[in-house]
Amino acid sequence: MEILNLLKSAVNGEDRGVSPVIGVILMVAITVILAAVIATFVLGLGDSLSNTAPQASFSCDSTDVTMTGGDELTVDNLEWGNGNSISGISGDTWTAGETATAPSVGDSNIIWKDQGQSATVFEGC
């Protein structure tokens, strides 16, 4: 009944009682947003956002796979689609312009693995 009186007074041009209602709505909204942010960190959902697969582009010719751009890839975190490690890259990282040779034409997919996560960064030719 009190809400009905507030609505009637608002329609009649009286402003009494409108501010407390808006204040309560704002406090509830802030509480819900804070609860969502805290729950995200408590449940560890924020950690998984920072550990995403790298983005890179490749081109291939038969079994030769050349990185054409994107993030530098740590070779220790990469393997071919058949599970073999990637070799032939100079240094610890695969950068644009470097070429690796896949074991066979069907195994030229490149899989990235790190801390229990994996993703296909290149679906071979």
Backbone angles phi, psi at 54, to 5 degrees: -70, 160
The count of domains in the chain is 2
75-114 pLDDT tens trace: 888 888 888 888 777 778 888 888 888 887 677 788 888 8
| pLDDT tier at 6, thresholds 50, 70, 90 | low
Q: Are 110 and 120 in contact, with CB atoms under 8 Å apart?
A: yes
Same domain, 60 and 11: no
SS (H, E, C) 59-75: EEECCEEEEEEECCEEH
* Residue 32, domain extent: 2-48
Residue for token pair 């073999």? 84
Same domain, 110 and 66: yes
Buried b or exposed e, range 53-80, using 16+ CB within 10 angstroms: bbebebebeebebebeebbebebebbbb
Same domain, 19 and 41: yes
